[in-house]
Structure 1
Amino acid sequence: MRKAVFLMAALLFVTFRVEAQRVPRSLYVENNLGRTLSAIDLESGRIQQNVLTLGQIPNDLLAYRDRLFVVNSQPPEVWVVDVPSRQVTKRIALPEGSSPYQMALVGSRRAYVSLLVANEIAVLNLADGRIEKRIPVGRAPQAILVDLAENRAYVANTGGYPDFRPSSISIIDIRNDSVLYSLPVPENAQALSKGPDYRIYVVCSGKWGANAGKLCILDPWAPPKYEPAIVDTILLGGFPGDVAVTPEGLVFVSDWGDERNGFLYVYDASRGEVIHSATNPIRVGKGAGKLLYDTAENVLYVSNFADDTVQRLDPASGTVLATIRVGDGAHALAITEAVELHDPWADEVVEFTPGSPWSRFGYAFFPDNVLGPPTPSSAVNAYSPSNRADEILSLGHGGQITLAFTDNVVVDEEGPDFTIFENCFISPWIGGPFVEAATVSVSQDGVTWLTFPYDTLTYEGLAGAHPVRDPLHSTDPQLSGGDQFDLAVVGLSWIRYVRITDLGDVWREGPFNGDFDLDAVVAIHSRDEIPSTAAAEQASVPPRSPWLSPAYPNPFNASTRLRFYLPSPAVLKLEILDSRGRLVTCLCDGSAEAGEHWISWDGRDACGKAVPSGIYLARFTTSNVRLCEKLVLMR
C-alpha cells in the first residue's frame, strides 16, 4: 500500500514493505534463438536451462530487485517476471510494428523503451502499464542509458539499415520527457555506458565488414559552453556491439569476431590509451555479444551468441575464469541479488518527511533504495562512496525517515547492534570524513522513542559521520565501517524501529556539506522473535545517558508534550526554536532529579503570544549532551 499525505509542504509516506523469500544471487541469460531464460546460481554454480519461455523475438533483459523485465520485439511487449516464482506477472503492450529493442528504468515506477522502427522512445508507467508518452528521437534507436544524477537519458540512434546514417545520440530531460540535444556520431551507434569520469562511452559499429568500429567519448559538460559534446573518437576496428566500464576506468567493448572466436577490446580511460583493439583482441567464445560488469564480484560477463555460452572474466588481466553453457543464442544478461526470508536489513519505510530544501536525489527509486542491503559493490570504500540514485536517498535539509524491521528485531548483545550506511567518505581536501550528519532515535513500539546522545564536535552518536569501508560485509562491524550503534547506550534490549533525522539547522558540518543520504540500515545482532527476557532486562538496565523522546501528539494543534530522561540529577535547558534557529521560548532552565520527566508546550512564545503554524525544534541541553526533536504546529 502506498499513501501520501501532504503536511506543511512535506510528504509523509506510510507503510512500504518488502516481501521476500530465500532466492540466491543469480545471473539470468536471455537465449534469443531458444526464446527462453537460463538461470545461473552465482552462489552454488548450479545452472538451470529454460526456466521460462519468452516471446517469439526476445531482445533485452533487465533486473530490478526481485523482478526481471523482458523486452520482446515480437509480440511487442514488456514482460514483468517475479524472480522467486519465475512467473510472468504482467504484460505491457507496446505499439504494433514498433519493434521494441531495449529498456532502461527511470526510477522504480517508470521506464523508457526504444522503438526501433517507430524512431521513438516509449515512456512506460510500470504500475498500470500505460504508455504515458512517445518521444521522437533519431533514426532506429537502440541503446538507452539513464543518468538519474543529471536527470538525463542518452539514446543511441543507429541511423538504420543499410547505410546507418544519420547516426546520433539523443539526450532527453527525464523530468519532462523532452529531447534537449542531438549529437551526430559515426555510423551505427549501438551501445552506451557511463564511466567513473562521468563521461559517456559510445560504441559505433560502422558497417559490417568495414573494420571501422569506433569508441566515442561524450562529455556531458564540455567546455567552452559546458554542454554535451563528443570530445574524442577512438578507432578500434572490427564490428563492435556492446560496452561496459569498470570502476577503474577500463572500457570493455565486445565484437562478434571471426569463425573461431569472439573479440574483446579494451580502452584505459584513466590513461587515454587502447590496450586491446582489432589488431590484438582478447579472444573469447564465438559471437561475443552482450557485456555485464558485476560490481559485487568485480568480474565481467560476456554472452557468446554463436556457441551458446556465457564467460566470466577477470577485468584486470582479461583472463577467462569460467565458461558456462546456456541456451540457444545467448544474448542479454542480468543479475538479481539474493533475497532472504529473514534478513538483517530494514524491511519497511514507516514515514518519510523530506527536508527543505530537498534535492529529490534518489526519490525515483524510493523506497526500494533504502531497504535491503547497502550498495552491493566492491568499488565502494572509504574514499569512493556510493553515488547511485537507485541505492541512496537524500533526506533534504532537516528531513526525517523512520524504518522498521518486520521479520526480526535488533537485539542488544556485545558491541554495536546495528549500522547505518550513509555515503560519507574521506575527503582529500579536508583530510578527514566529509560529514553529512543525522541524529538517530530507536523504538520498540513506534510510539516511545529514545535518541542516542551525540556530540556535534566529535560527531560521536551521529549517523553520516563514519565512512563505509566494505558494504559487502555489512553485518561485520570490523569490516563494514559506517555508523554503528549499541542499544546498551539507551538502555534497550531490543528495538524494531529506527528514525534518522538530518541535523538541518541544529549544526552546520561545513560550508559545502550537504544533507544526509541514506543507503541502508543493517542489524548486526538480530532475532526472529523478541527475546523472552526482554522485559526483565529492560527494567533492570536503566539508560546510561540522557534522552529526549519525540513530542506527542506531533503534528499538534493546541499543545504537545515532550518526555526526557536523566540518569542522574542534572542542570538542563529545554528550549523551543523556530525553523531559522531563533529562540521562541524556554520551557525549562534549571535543575531536575534523575528519572523521566514530562513537559508541555502550548504553542506560545516567551511573551504568551500564539506562534504561527510551522516547523519548530525542541532543543534539550545538559552539560554533556544536546538533543533535538522536530515539532510540527498546525493551526
Structure 2
Amino acid sequence: ERYSGIHREMILSGDFDGNGVVDFKDFSLFVAHFGTSHGEPDFDPLFDLTGDGRVDFEDFFKFVAQFDKGGSAKAGTRPKLSAEVRYGDLGPVVEVRAEGAEGFGLVLNYDPEAYEFLRADVSSRLPVLKKETRGKLAFACVGDKAKLVFRGEFGGAMEVEEAVVVDRAYRVSDAGVKGTLIVPEFALGRNFPNPFNSSTAVVYTLPEAAHVKLVVYDLLGRVVKVLVNGVQDAGRHRAVWDGRDGSGRPVASGLYLIRMEAGTFRKVREAVLVR
C-alpha cells in the first residue's frame, strides 16, 4: 500500500486541503494536476487516488463519487457512449450521450486554427472536469449527456483520442469510441497559412460521398488551377495549392479565390499569395 494511516484516508476521501470537507476547492486542486504522470514535474501522488502513477479519468470519478452518494443508472446495463457533431449558432457542437452510464469522460483533439472551445452544457450539479490546452480538451462529468460548444467555421478536424464510461459503482471502462468526428454538413475551411509564400493548405469536409470540384480563380474569374475534380468519400479532406497555375508556372503575387462545389454546396475562400 502506497499510503498509510490518516494520510491514506484523506487521499481516499478527496479532501486534498485537509479541512474535513470534500468541496470545490479540492476539485480545483485536482483539476490543476489532471493529466500528469509519475516522473513529471507537476505530478503529485496526493491526487493519484488509484495509485497507478497517473492522474486520469479513474481518479476523477473516484473523487467525484464523494459528492454523489446515490446512483441514477440502471443496474445491469452496459454503458454505451456516442459522440456526434451538429451545427450551432456559433460553430460546431459535439453532443455526447452515455446510455446506461453514471458518467463519462473523453479527450477531444481539434484544430485550434479553426475552433475555439467556449463551454460545456451539462445538467449535473456535481463537479465537471474541463482541462484545455491548445487543440486538446479533456472533459468528464457525472451524468448521461453533455454538449461541448465551440466557436468557428466547419472545415477543421475533430477527433476523439480517448473515451471512457463509468457505471453505477464508479468503475471506469473504455467506451470504444475513437477516431475522427464527421461534420454533418459540407464545409470548406479557411486555407492555411494565409497570406502564404510557397503553398497553402485547404481543408474541407463531406458528410457523404460526392463529386467535388475545388478550383483556384483570379479576380477576373479565370481558372488558375484545378485542385480537385472527382468523387470523394465522406470525411475530412485536404488539398494543397503550390502557388502555380495548371501548367506549373508560378503565378504573381495577389489575391486569389478558392471555390468549392459539391452537390448543391458552394463556398469561396480568399487566398493571398506574397512572393
- TM-score, structure 1 length as denominator? 0.18
Please say which structure displays the higher CA radius of gyration.
Answer: 1
- TM-score, structure 2 length as denominator? 0.39
Determine which structure has the larger helix proportion and give its number: 2
Determine which structure has the larger strand proportion and give its number: 1
